[in-house]
């Protein structure tokens, strides 16, 4: 699910950099690997990430946020690993002041999405994936307004109070940490079209 709040052109950042431009919110470290289906690391895979602020608004909705706040693009190292810092996301309501709102009300559903971070993960020769990670314990996990939650995409943030580790990753204590490995499938090779074989009657 790409969603309506994706914006191309986010800044490419070094591993470990923060996508939070205003520093508002509880710091969070996000790390993991990009692997192929055999478990081998994929170097130079690209992760395009974005999320809403703790207020529940994306930068494109909120003039108080800096442009491209909570957006960034990262490349994995030779070991397939990625990491960046951000702030802990929160649940938020989707815009419900039009036909979508009427539909939700008619179905007796609320407009809320559980807290999540979006990812587009790509690598040459592999099929891209567009997905998001959801925070365990969110009250809306079982009733996501857009039915985007899968159990395999739910991660449990760990609270870290280690000041030395916080300094090492460039955040303050306490901070949150999540880990997740993305697995990419090899892109199928396109087969060339075969010319039709004429029959004895001259028809293909």
Task: Give this prediction's pTM.
Answer: 0.88
Burial class from Cβ neighbours inside 10 Å (0-12, 13-18, 19+) for residue 16 reads middle
Tokens, residue 25 = 């919110």
Catalytic residue among 112, 113, 132, 140: 113
In the residue annotation, 118 being an active-site residue is answered as yes
Name the maximum alpha-carbon separation found in the chain.
Answer: 82
CATH of 27-184, one of 2.60.130.10, 2.30.40.10, 1.10.10.60, 3.40.50.300: 2.60.130.10
Peptide bond into 174 cis (omega under 30): yes
In the residue annotation, 6 being an active-site residue is answered as no
Say whether pLDDT at 199 is over 60. no
Which pLDDT does position 99 carry in this prediction?
84
Q: What Cα–Cα distance (Å) separates residue 38 from each residue in 13, 119, 186?
A: 28, 22, 10
Say whether pLDDT at 148 is over 60. yes
In the residue annotation, 82 being an active-site residue is answered as no
Catalytic residue among 71, 83, 116, 132: 116
Which pLDDT does position 3 carry in this prediction?
78
In the residue annotation, 116 being an active-site residue is answered as yes
Q: Work out the pLDDT band at 197, boundaries 50, 70, 90.
A: very low
Q: What does pLDDT average to over the chain?
A: 91
Q: Where are the domains of the chain?
A: 27-184
* Dihedrals phi, psi of 188, to nearest 5 degrees: -65, 140
């Amino acid at each position: 699910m790409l969603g309506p709040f994706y914006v191309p052109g986010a800044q490419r950042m070094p591993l470990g950099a923060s996508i939070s431009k205003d520093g508002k919110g509880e710091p969070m470290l996000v790390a993991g690997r990009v692997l192929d289906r055999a478990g081998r690391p994929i170097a130079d895979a690209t992760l395009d990430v974005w999320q809403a602020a703790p207020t529940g608004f994306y930068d494109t909705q909120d003039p108080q946020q800096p442009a491209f706040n909570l957006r960034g693009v990262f490349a994995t190292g030779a070991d397939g690993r990625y990491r960046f810092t951000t702030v802990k996301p929160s649940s938020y309501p989707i815009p419900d002041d039009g036909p979508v709102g009427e539909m939700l009300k008619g179905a007796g559903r609320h407009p809320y999405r559980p807290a999540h971070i979006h990812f587009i993960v790509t690598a040459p020769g592999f099929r891209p994936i567009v997905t998001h990670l959801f925070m365990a314990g969110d009250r809306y996990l079982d009733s996501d307004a857009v039915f985007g939650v899968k159990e395999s995409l739910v991660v449990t943030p760990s609270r870290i109070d280690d000041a030395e580790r916080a300094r090492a990753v460039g955040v303050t204590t306490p901070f949150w940490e999540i880990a997740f490995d993305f697995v990419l499938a090899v892109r199928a090779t396109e087969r060339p079209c075969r010319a039709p074989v004429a029959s004895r009657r001259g028809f293909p």
